[in-house]
Amino acid sequence: SNPVTIVFGLEGMGVAPAGTEADNTGHHHLLINTDPSTLDMDSGLPATDEIVHFGGGQTQVTKELPAGTHTLQLLLGDWSHVPHNPPVMSEVITITVN
């Protein structure tokens, strides 16, 4: 049920706010009902309702989602929102919001 709290995890890398150029760091982007294979992994990720940026270095969010089934996945972006190569991504999870 709403609101949904999502806690982010990360191993082997550090979290840093957008704009912070540091090796092996980045900030989270939450993909909602978005297949990462449809994204340009060589460019900065757009900010949309389905690609939520956490450029402040946040590690969790409480968010309202429409009722129904949703897929969620985290994708780490560098200081300029570009995914790392290779991409640092979570597994996809599926949730149902009542």
Confidence of residue 2 (pLDDT cuts 50, 70, 90): very high
Can you give the pLDDT at residue 11?
Answer: 95
- Residue 9 · residue 93 · CB < 8 Å: no
The residue extents of the domains of the chain are: 4-97
Digit-coded pLDDT (tens) for 50-75: 999 999 999 999 999 999 999 999 99
Query: Which are the contacts of 29, defined by CB distance < 8 A and separation ≥ 6?
Result: 45, 51, 52, 53, 54, 74, 75, 76, 77, 81
Digit-coded pLDDT (tens) for 25-46: 999 999 999 999 999 999 999 9
- Residue 61 · residue 2 · CB < 8 Å: no
Q: Is 83 exposed, middle or buried (0-12, 13-18, 19+ CB in 10 A)?
A: buried
Can you give the pLDDT at residue 26?
Answer: 98
